[in-house]
Chain A
Amino acid sequence: MEAYVQKKSAETLKPPVTSVGVIGWARANLFNGWLNSLLTIVTLYFLWIVVPPLIRWAFIDSVWNTSGAVCRDADGACWSIIATNFRFILFGFFPYDQQWRPLIAILILCALLFYSRNRNHWTKHLLYAWIIGLVVMGLLMRGGLFGLSSVETTQWGGLPLTLLLSVFGLTVAYPLGVILALGRQSKMPTIKWMSIIYIELIRGVPLISLLFMGSFIFPLFLPEGVNFPTILRALVAIIIFTAAYIAEVVRGGLQGMERGQYEAAESIGLNYFLTMRLIILPQALKIVIPPTVQQLISAFKDTSLVVIIALFDLLKTSQTVLSNPEWMGFSREAYIFVAILYFLGCFSMANYSRKLEKELSTEN
């Protein structure tokens, strides 16, 4: 081989025009190769067929604030079913003149959730804010103090119920699941086997059967006169169920940890709890953010199963409206509305998990 010595180092040049800008982008992403071009054209055609009629139905021909009879003559969507029954769908059988109370409770909850998004806000003050918020929310919903009329939990329904079951269900289920996962990894046989039996038993039955058991079988074991509200029993069933699934997800994360991390933590003298709290869990839980959120989203949607034990969650209140002769047949509109609300919930969870993953990333 001939000897080679570089004489002059290469200059920095701009990339060729065809690879930048809109045209460059389209060429690289939409029309690179015949298969991709074909897919692009088919997709565009499909959108052309679907989108304009959808827009016409949903917006142009739709009616927004009429009676059911007018709706039947309209060509487009009958959003009147939502507009007219808005308050019933959102608040169920909560006394009509008191519905500002669940509304404020929801607003407080949303404000707290939104403020908690930022991890810099996770301080002691936020904890106090949550405690105060929870008390105020409970007071608003239940009443009976400070001149607020008392509202039985059987009258709770709609969105507040869905939020209550999901927010509390999930926030209690998550730490419980983590504890179960740690229990399953424990060196102490009793703890280990109790965790395994719990997880496998609960995973082995559908949520519906747990809800049934909670509402019909569980009361049989209670002494006479003692009674828990159905909502609480449903909440406990959801927590018990979700925790088992979270536990398995977290276990996956724990098993992904290197032995060296435990050894390094132990070698500086950290005990078991500190090792878990400071070293292992922060890493393991971070690894399993995507499957955890997956589980939480699924649990959020599963709260709609409480209809089978006669709770009026968001889905059930919409169905109730549809059983009214005036609004019969407008199920598309009603379900789209409910779907949007659920989507907002799920999407913000998914969105937040992505944000969290990005923030916690320690790679460059």
Chain B
Amino acid sequence: MNEETTKNNDMQPTAEPMIEIIDLHKWFGDFHVLRGIDLTMHRKERIVICGPSGSGKSTLIRCINRLEEHQRGQIIVDGIELTNNLKNIEKIRAEVGMVFQHFNLFPHLTIVDNLALGPIWVRKVPKKEAEEAAMHYLEKVHIAEQAHKYPGQLSGGQQQRVAIARSLCMSPKVMLFDEPTSALDPEMIKEVLDVMIELAREGLTMIVVTHEMGFAKSVAHRVLFMDFGQIVEGNTPVEFFENPQHDRTKLFLSQILH
């Protein structure tokens, strides 16, 4: 609680909505993955989504940058509604960063080229400038010395930090993390979480799907619990962990915290 209050005011969420999700439904074939999600996220807000596997949390954040198509409801990102309009989709994707469970770096490009590619081709930044920015972000994730290697030569933790830097290079208005530490060896989880915590301290707007409850406690404004394609409960971390209301939340927490 103390940590919350000592934080600078401009680190706090604003009243401006960043993402609005209204009655979102999605099916994979006959399977009803998302069953009416309503969620409003504000600028500078940090949301952690947890829940058992298959609960739809990854699908939800993948819908936000249209890696998955929703069939019913509305998603409005930064004032633009996601529809079939390709131009809008590309515009939104440029503003929404995404970090994947399996990093998905481009193996045929060096680290610095991985980072500079988006700014050069999407934002039309001159090559030299883009590379300088890339180096800046690599320093930020403490990996500048690897800039001219290829992704295959880096460890999992290093690759994930590069992936985070690649997203940052696009100066996204919001970043989505899809289980960023789930594919990592235990000793590498911390280095990635540390980077994410630093970003949180700088006021980055982020939605993180994760099972790292320590991370949720220390940086989230809100923790959401999803099960069977619905948001079952959402609260401040303190309330969420100390005073869960719903039975399914209690059960889930008892299974992962012990």
Interface residues of chain A, those whose CB is within 8 Å of chain B, are 258, 260-261, 263-271, 274, 278-279, 282-283, 286, 360, 362-364
Contacts and interface: CB of A to CB of B under 8 A. Distances in A.
A268 B108 contact: no
Contacts of A286: 108
- For chain A, what secondary structure do more than half of its interface residues adopt (helix, strand, loop), or is it mixed? helix
A272 to B, nearest CB: 8
Given A258-B104, A267-B98, A362-B152, 4 more contacts: A260-B100, A267-B167, A268-B94, A362-B150
B57 interface: no
A267 B122 CA distance: 11
Contacts of B167: 267-268
B118 interface: yes
Contacts of B153: 363-364
Interface in B127-145: none
Contacts of A279: 106
A348 B159 CA distance: 38
Contact of A264 (B94, B96, B106): B106
A261 B93 contact: no
B106 A267 contact: no
A278 to B, nearest CB: 6
A363 B97 contact: no
B127 to A, nearest CB: 13
Nearest to B95: A269
B122 A282 contact: no
Nearest to A265: B106
B66 to A, nearest CB: 8
Interface string B147-158: 000111100000
Specify which of A283, A360, A362, A363 lies most central, judged by the most chain B CB atoms within 10 Å of its CB. A362
CB-based closest 3 A-B pairs: A269-B94, A264-B104, A268-B118
B108 A282 contact: yes
Contacts of B97: 267-268
Contact of A269 (B93, B104, B108): B93
Interface in B79-117: 86, 90-91, 93-94, 96-98, 100, 102, 104-108, 117
A261 B100 contact: no
Given A260-B102, A263-B67, A263-B100, A268 B122 contact: yes
B170 interface: yes
Contacts, number: 70
Given A263-B67, A283-B107, A362-B107, A268 B170 contact: yes
B108 A360 contact: yes
11 contacts: A260-B102, A264-B100, A267-B67, A268-B117, A268-B122, A268-B170, A271-B86, A274-B122, A278-B117, A278-B121, A283-B107
B43 interface: no
B123 to A, nearest CB: 8
B148 to A, nearest CB: 12
A264 B105 contact: yes
B166 interface: yes
Nearest to A268: B118
Contact of B152 (A258, A263, A266, A363): A363
B160 interface: no
A360 B91 CA distance: 32
B65 interface: yes
A270 B114 CA distance: 13
Nearest to A360: B108
A274 B121 contact: yes
Contacts of A268: 93-94, 97, 117-118, 122, 166-167, 170
Contacts of B104: 258, 260-261, 263-264
Specify which of A261, A268, A279 lies most central, judged by the most chain B CB atoms within 10 Å of its CB. A268
Contacts of A283: 106-108
Given A362-B108, A363-B152, A266 B118 contact: no
A258 B90 CA distance: 21
Nearest to B123: A269
Nearest to B96: A267
A167 to B, nearest CB: 27
Contacts of B118: 268-270
A28 B102 CA distance: 42
A271 B86 CA distance: 9
B108 A267 contact: no
B67 A270 contact: no
Contacts of A363: 150, 152-153
B19 to A, nearest CB: 15
A270 B121 contact: yes
